[in-house]
């Protein structure tokens, strides 16, 4: 297994700029072999502005950015990519666009077979998993399937929020919503990535990085907290 993934909970952390909180991890992840990163801005409506934001940031890190929405042939753009970064926004819009442009299978092949490094943030992290069933987003469009790229055999909930006992909000908490997901049969475990956390996957090894803990939800079991630096490689077995 050649996969290399950097799955980030959020692109902007409170008090800092775009990708500032994870820029050192980005530089280490893409390294010096990658010169150009293929950016996928499908999660936002204004793809030109979004691309400029990503292009400006990656330039400060020493990387050129090509956007898939500027390519005449999106599939060929994926085939030529040295590295891939899928940004955040609306997960339903993102996945629908990935299917519409017929790049889901090609991204999976390039990452799992060719070892092309894949970075996702927020919605881009959601689509790297089995499905988008544990996204926080509204279904503003209808993708042909909720099945995602499937680079890991579990789901992620980015921007995971803990229950606030002092809140007067009467809607479901994030924990309750994930529990409802697990009320359905044959559902995978869900890794709740709080803002500031990210998961690094290298082959069959997974490590929690960042500054905040992650919370693991497994159907029929108690939740478990993991600190930054923890080895989460067990999540990469199909049993989980």
28: annotated active-site residue = no
Q: How is the beta sheet containing 224-226 ordered, strand by strand?
A: 155-158, 190-193, 214-217, 224-226
Q: Which of 11, 21, 67, 137 is catalytic?
A: 137
Which residue do the tokens 């993991």 mark? 226
Q: Which of 159, 182, 233, 240 is catalytic?
A: 159
The answer to whether residues 84 and 109 touch, using CB atoms and an 8 Å cutoff, is no
Burial 78-103 (b: 16+ CB within 10 A, else e): beebbbbbbbbbbbbbbbbbbeebeb
Distances (CA, A) of 180 to 16, 146, 176, 217: 34, 17, 6, 11
Please list the active-site residues. Answer: 122, 137, 159
């Amino acid at each position: 297994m050649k996969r290399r993934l950097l799955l980030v909970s959020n692109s902007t952390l409170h008090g800092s700029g775009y990708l500032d909180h994870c820029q050192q991890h980005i530089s280490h992840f893409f390294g010096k072999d990658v010169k150009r990163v293929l950016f996928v801005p499908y999660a936002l409506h204004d793809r030109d502005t979004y691309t400029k934001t990503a292009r400006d940031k990656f330039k400060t890190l020493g990387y050129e950015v090509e956007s898939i929405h500027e390519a005449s042939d999106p599939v060929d753009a994926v085939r030529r990519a040295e590295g891939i970064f899928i940004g955040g926004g609306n997960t339903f819009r993102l996945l629908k666009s990935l299917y519409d442009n017929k790049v889901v299978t090609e991204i999976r092949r390039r990452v799992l077979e060719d070892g092309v490094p894949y970075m996702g943030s927020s919605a881009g992290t959601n689509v790297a998993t089995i499905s988008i069933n544990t996204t926080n987003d509204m279904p503003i469009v209808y993708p042909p399937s909720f099945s995602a790229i499937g680079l890991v055999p579990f789901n992620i909930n980015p921007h995971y929020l803990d229950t606030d006992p002092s809140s007067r909000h009467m809607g479901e908490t994030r924990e309750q919503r994930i529990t409802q997901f697990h009320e359905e049969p044959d559902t995978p475990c869900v890794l709740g990535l709080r803002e500031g956390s990210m998961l690094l996957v290298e082959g069959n090894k997974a490590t929690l990085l960042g500054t905040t803990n992650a919370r693991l939800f497994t159907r029929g079991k108690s939740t478990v907290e993991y600190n930054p630096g923890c080895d989460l490689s067990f999540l990469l077995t199909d049993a989980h």
